[in-house]
Amino acid sequence: MLHWDMATQMPAGGAEARSEQVATLKLVCHEIIADPSMPDLLSGAEAQNDLDPWQRANLVEMRRSWLHASALPGDLVEALSKASSTCEMVWRQARPNSDFAAVLPALRELLTLVQCVATLKAERLGVSPYDALLDQYEPGGSSAAIDAIFEPFARVLPGLIDDALVLQGRSRKPVAPEGPFPVEIQRQAAIKLMERIGFDFDHGRLDISLHPFCGGTPDDVRITTRYDTDDFRGALMGVLHETGHALYERGLPLAWRRQPVGHARGMSLHESQSLLVEMQVCRSRDFMEFAAPILRDTFGRRGPEWDADNLYRLGTQVERSLIRVDADEVTYPAHVILRYRLERALLAGDLKLEDLPEAWDEAMHELVGIVPPDDRQGCLQDIHWYDGAFGYFPTYTLGAMTAAQLFDAAKRADPAIAPGIAKGEFAPLLGWLRTNVHGQASRHSTAEIITAATGRKLDSAVFERHLRARYLAA
């Protein structure tokens, strides 16, 4: 809640005090988990013979948390928290001014601390430094496994983007509705769709922030977005994306609230839920059949540009765009693979921080086919690195692949799901997700949850097949 407040309500002058508050809380929590008595307590609990599967899984998660916490001295935890808060606040000023030089000193200090954390956790976990950071967001994940999925896909991705653009160029271009679109009307449209999909406003809020996110707790979920009065689609799809995150949090088992096993499994599964809602569902023809009348009525507009087919084609336009959060479904993986490669190089010391803007531009040209005109639209666009979140980015595309596989399995399990979406009936899909994903929490590994739900391990071929069916079908 302190982070939510910092992003939505806190005056700029409160940054230093808030940094101290968050650092103090993190230190207190760290000292509790890293207490010297914890190993004996865990061993004693694990030795009990009458534990049920949920309890045993809970102890596994407790030990994992202890391993991460006990690897770090308290002063490093406190220093990292303060450096993250400081760098993030500098970034908030540097980004609109496209001033990478302004944030470079704070980012250098932060990266040095992140590298220390990675080294210490790597020694404790017995993995590489990057994998130690990755494990914070994707338990049990490894760069070797990611490479095995990403690299073959990266080889076919440029051609897939080219083919989609060629086919799109042969089709009649969709027409974008003309603004302005008042923020309050955009908010009303978003709330109507959020409620129909399943968001519970008795247990959540929608607010504004510089960078859209979903946070809070399962019983008090906080969603934020940012609005553009010239184009309502970015904010709307951003809200629907975060709604997917919120549904996952709300669907976690009540019996295990505030226990490690009751938390979401990891960020690739979390991203799968947001991308399943945004990309698989809300950019489908079925969804637009349902949503178009709501959008027309809410904005008080009429005309062919508000027809379901036009809105669907607008939502599935492929473009070599600069901004990750605004990228289409086909080019989005290129944005993620770019960041994954760069952050690994930064962490390993193979890429100097001062060379990041140039390296970013080169990678954008290689993978997306365009070069940013400034750093605001380049290496300053995302909050993650400036908040110390190294190892997070690959979970986005892992999540997209998982989303495609889960949605495919759900539709096979219940053929009424897709036609139901066109009628605004989301309960069957949400029920399937509650059973197969949300309700599993952290009882099993990500791989086990995917395999149990879909009948196979994560396979990028399912995602590629989805992209070809949506974007390359004549």
Q: How far is the CA of 301 from the CAs of 72, 92, 330, in angstroms?
A: 57, 36, 30
Residue 221, SS3?
A: strand
Per-residue burial over 399-419, b = 16 or more CB atoms within 10 Å of its CB, e = otherwise: bbbbbbbbbbbbbeeeeebbe
Q: Is the peptide bond before 180 cis (omega within 30 degrees of 0)?
A: yes
In angstroms, the CA 204 to CA 246 distance is 8
In angstroms, the CA 224 to CA 376 distance is 21
> Using an 8 Å Cβ cutoff, are 405 and 458 in contact?
yes
Identity of the residue numbered 176: A
Check residue 182 and give left, alpha or beta (phi > 0: left; psi -120 to 50: alpha): beta
Q: What is the DSSP letter of 220?
A: E
Please give the structure tokens belonging to residue 404.
Answer: 């495609």
Q: What pairing do the DSSP bridges indicate for beta strands 220-225 and 214-217?
A: antiparallel
Largest CA distance in the chain: 69
In angstroms, the CA 388 to CA 143 distance is 19
Pick from 332, 308, 301: which is nearest to 404 by CA?
332
Question: Does residue 242 have an active-site annotation?
Answer: yes
Q: Which of 242, 271, 289, 343 is catalytic?
A: 242
In angstroms, the CA 107 to CA 103 distance is 6
Catalytic center residues: 242
